[in-house]
Structure 1
Amino acid sequence: MGFDSSLSMCLTIYLHLHVELEGLLVEFKLLHAHMWFAEELSLHFVYRFKVAQAVPMNDMISFEDLSKKINVDQLTVIRLLRNAMTFHMFHEPKKGFVAHTQDSRLLVEDETLYDFVGCALEDLRPGANNQLEAIEKWPGSQEPNHTGYNIAFNTELPLYRYLSQYPERIRRVSALMAQVMKSGFRDAKRIAELYPWESLGQGTIIDMGGGSGHNSVALARAHSKLKFIVQDLPSVTAQGEANLPAELQGQVSFMAHDFFKDNPVKDATAFFMMNTLHTWSDKYVVQIFKQLVPSLKPGARILVCDRVVPEQGTVSDVEYKEIRSVDIYMMHSVNGRERSAEDIFGLFKETDARFKHFKSYNNSSSLYTICEAVWEP
């Protein structure tokens, strides 16, 4: 088992992506549900007490010595680690001793993976535990600060504004995003093959909420005739500008912009949004689209790139379960949602009848879909 299996294991624990064999009885699934919490608790213990860092990388350590090293009583260490061993986190090479597996070693060798686990269990999981209280307190709300996360951390601030106050949490969220972007399914290079970018000629693409520009950089390298302007928060665009490869100077540029305000670029060929709209409820997506209208020229294209919700049965059960689980995460953290292509096109229609010619683009090499609307005043 390598990196992919370890990352998959962590996602499984947080998102509950348990792959049941086809034909298992419903009763068994329900009885098995209590084990999810045992897995989470064991992994959380490994993270909180830095157990992986306390186990020798190329040797074994007794439960007795390990308990002294991390200052936790021996019986608790034995019980939690033997449960962790059931999902390949450490192993017991001889009775009473602990050693690393390939998966547990990664928590030492890859700091971002370690922080990823911490983010999932300490920063994100509490929101899920309190989401039902949020539903009762704010029924039907689409506000980003009416979530289980707000109840869990007793704050009126939306998730990312709250996290920004704590450097350790910001580091963990950054690590989570770094791990997500390592997945081949989320490789920016594949987005360059997902849409007929050459049909845009020598146009200018506005990468809205484009972060440090990783998508625009990949697209610029694949399509040299296009120009890209990456828009995001000032601190983010400054970082992207500082790290822009020299050969792309002039083809990719950066602009600080709040997409809830009129866009200052009036002659763009297309406006591209990847992994942006799913962090917002429908109410706010319509606002984002409305702020674009004054900047659109006839024929301008809006390209929404997201993991769209497929019809059940059109993809594997594992993939369908994952995207449904992510949808719940968006609910309890920011009041956003995952959408089908029809949902996205419906929001365009709700915004303005002049959005037309809806079309979606996808292929087997990517889990993403690009939903296109054309502005025809």
Structure 2
Amino acid sequence: MTVSQPTLLSLAARITELAETFTRFQQENNIPVVTFAADSPTSYSNLTADAFVTRQLLSDALSDMWYLSQGPSESIFNYVHTCMPDAAVLNILNHFDFGSAVPINGSASFADIAKHTSLPEDVVYRVLQHAITLRIFTETEPGRPSSSRVQHTSRSAALAKNPGLKALVSTILDDAGAPMMVMNETLRRYSLGKPALTQNMDETAFALLHSGRVYGKYTNSWDLLENDGEGERKGWRARNFVEFMRYIKDIFHLEEVLVDAYDWAAAGNVTVVDVGGSAGHDAVVLARKFPNLTITVQDLPKVKPVFEADLPADVQDRVTFVEHSFFDPQPVQAEIYIFKMIFHDWPDHDAATILRALIPALKPGARVILVEYMGDQTEVEDQQKPPLARSIRQMGTATDVRLMALFNGKERAVGAWKNVFALADGRFEVVGVKADPVTFFAIVEAVWRG
């Protein structure tokens, strides 16, 4: 069977069609138009599932247009040539807070920015020259550094306005970026010729990189997050990670996913433990919506000050924090235990160990609810509908590769979660799996039959 291949003209027509559909949705729903101007909205709001899919299909078509317009060889060369400088420059801009050096509605000289960042002016100029090609900042007089001034675009302004986005960039690029570049050597050393990826946490790309003591000798990224830095800076990565998770919650509408994950109202007056619940952002939402819930948030000690600073007064009688490592025996007996985006960070045997640590506190009928990003989304796609946009699938595949580098972890297919529970203990019974590829998340519910 011959498959019809896209052409530049067919893609151009498809892009026009999808752009018109998406624009019409914006107009009909009074959604502000995004531009490159500094005062532009920083994200699209109130997208329906259909509008979101339309946008991602548009992204796919634009990618194909770029690939074909460059040609196979040149598109690979151009990507390789720019991908690492792109990431490095964004990481530098973020790390040294270039965004606050430039007023959102004003401008700054290169000398001003150099003074703000304490970097050499030549470095600032060269970094910004590449950033400008990415529509991150712009300048008033290109090619005249002595008189030109730097202004924000919507992309640089988004970073300046949103600490969560800054935290996301730092976590993905600064924490996880370097390990990914030694994955090839890690796979050669530890997995070459073997039937499966090594499950040893000492044999990750992260461990290999840090064996050279670039930041210190850390065994895994959680160790780095908890301990990197000295004095007041110690643990800065952990605090940054909390902000990152807050932002992830917002962009993926995780509050809605969690609210819909279970019939909380029908559960009655129950105790819920949010295991690895960061600073309690989701626990606060649940407590406000469902006054029948008493919630304990568990995480590492460094998170506690953030939790205490952020906890609203109206839920302080029902939301508390307990310092706890989920590898240790569970100290709190509850009816429901929640794990949100926890297990994808761990190989199967470690995920099973985390579940097994619950057993000392479990009473018959206790429930465990996993909220996890879906790995192989083809398991739940409706075969009667067109396949999901590549850009949607890419969200999962990119995260999956990053997890491989950091933890030898993975984004699991929906069916794989039953195997994890079975590996932990046969008395766990998976009683429900809900998966929606458009929201990216799967909800797995298990009951303890011990």
Same fold at TM > 0.5: yes
After superposition, the Cα gap between the structure-2 partners of 1:108 and 1:249, relative to the gap in structure 1 and judged at 3 Å, is: closer
- Counterpart check, 1:257 vs 2:324: yes
Partner of residue 12, structure 1: none
The separation in 2 between residues aligned to 1:94 and 1:187, in whole angstroms, is 43
What residue identity is the alignment partner of 2:313? A
Q: Retained in 2: the 8 A contact 1:130–1:148?
A: yes
After superposition, the Cα gap between the structure-2 partners of 1:260 and 1:280, relative to the gap in structure 1 and judged at 3 Å, is: same
Q: How does 1:351-362 map to 2 (within 5 A)?
A: 351-362=424-435
Partner of residue 122, structure 1: 174
- Counterpart check, 1:276 vs 2:339: no
Instruction: Please report the RMSD computed on the Cα atoms of aligned residues, expressed in angstroms.
Output: 3.3
Q: Retained in 2: the 8 A contact 1:205–1:226?
A: yes
After superposition, the Cα gap between the structure-2 partners of 1:218 and 1:261, relative to the gap in structure 1 and judged at 3 Å, is: same
After superposition, the Cα gap between the structure-2 partners of 1:222 and 1:136, relative to the gap in structure 1 and judged at 3 Å, is: same
- Counterpart check, 1:160 vs 2:160: no
Partner of residue 14, structure 1: none
What residue identity is the alignment partner of 2:125? V
Choose which of 129, 132, 135 in structure 1 pairs with 2:184.
132
Partner of residue 311, structure 1: 377
The CA deviation at 1:158 is 1.6
SS in 1 for 2:176: helix
Deviations for 1:194-226, whole angstroms, at most 9, x for unmatched residues?
A: 322234222222221122222222112112222
Partner of residue 143, structure 1: 200
- Counterpart check, 1:90 vs 2:137: yes
The CA deviation at 1:86 is 3.3
After alignment, is 323-332 or 257-266 more displaced?
A: 257-266
The separation in 2 between residues aligned to 1:188 and 1:86, in whole angstroms, is 36
Q: Retained in 2: the 8 A contact 1:233–1:258?
A: yes
The separation in 2 between residues aligned to 1:248 and 1:71, in whole angstroms, is 48
The separation in 1 between residues aligned to 2:331 and 2:297, in whole angstroms, is 13
Structure-2-length-normalised TM-score: 0.69
The structure, 1 or 2, with the larger RCO (C-alpha pairs under 8 Å, 6+ apart) is: 1
Partner of residue 17, structure 2: none
- Counterpart check, 1:176 vs 2:259: no
The number of equivalent residue pairs is 361
Choose which of 125, 144, 162 in structure 2 pairs with 1:77.
125
The CA deviation at 1:352 is 2.4
Instruction: Using the aligned pairs only, state the percent identity.
Output: 27
Deviations for 1:172-191, whole angstroms, at most 9, x for unmatched residues?
A: 434433432331x1432441
The CA deviation at 1:236 is 2.9
SS in 2 for 1:142: coil
The CA deviation at 1:156 is 4.2
The separation in 2 between residues aligned to 1:357 and 1:176, in whole angstroms, is 30
Partner of residue 446, structure 2: 373
Deviations for 1:52-94, whole angstroms, at most 9, x for unmatched residues?
A: 45556545567799789953438x936x544433331122444
What residue identity is the alignment partner of 2:224? Y
SS in 1 for 2:415: helix
The separation in 2 between residues aligned to 1:81 and 1:315, in whole angstroms, is 36
What residue identity is the alignment partner of 2:249? M
After superposition, the Cα gap between the structure-2 partners of 1:285 and 1:62, relative to the gap in structure 1 and judged at 3 Å, is: closer
Choose which of 45, 65, 76 in structure 2 pairs with 1:30.
76
Mark the runs of 5 or more structure 1 residues left unpaired by the alignment.
6-17
Q: How does 1:185-200 map to 2 (within 5 A)?
A: 185-200=252-267
Partner of residue 3, structure 1: 42
The CA deviation at 1:112 is 5.1
Structure-1-length-normalised TM-score: 0.81
What residue identity is the alignment partner of 1:158? N
The CA deviation at 1:119 is 4.0
Deviations for 1:85-111, whole angstroms, at most 9, x for unmatched residues?
A: 333112244443343212223444445
After superposition, the Cα gap between the structure-2 partners of 1:21 and 1:257, relative to the gap in structure 1 and judged at 3 Å, is: closer
The separation in 1 between residues aligned to 2:409 and 2:339, in whole angstroms, is 15
Deviations for 1:3-44, whole angstroms, at most 9, x for unmatched residues?
A: 238xxxxxxxxxxxx855347558265344213224224434
The separation in 2 between residues aligned to 1:66 and 1:263, in whole angstroms, is 50
Mark the runs of 5 or more structure 2 residues left unpaired by the alignment.
1-33, 35-40, 45-58, 192-196, 382-386
- Counterpart check, 1:217 vs 2:284: yes
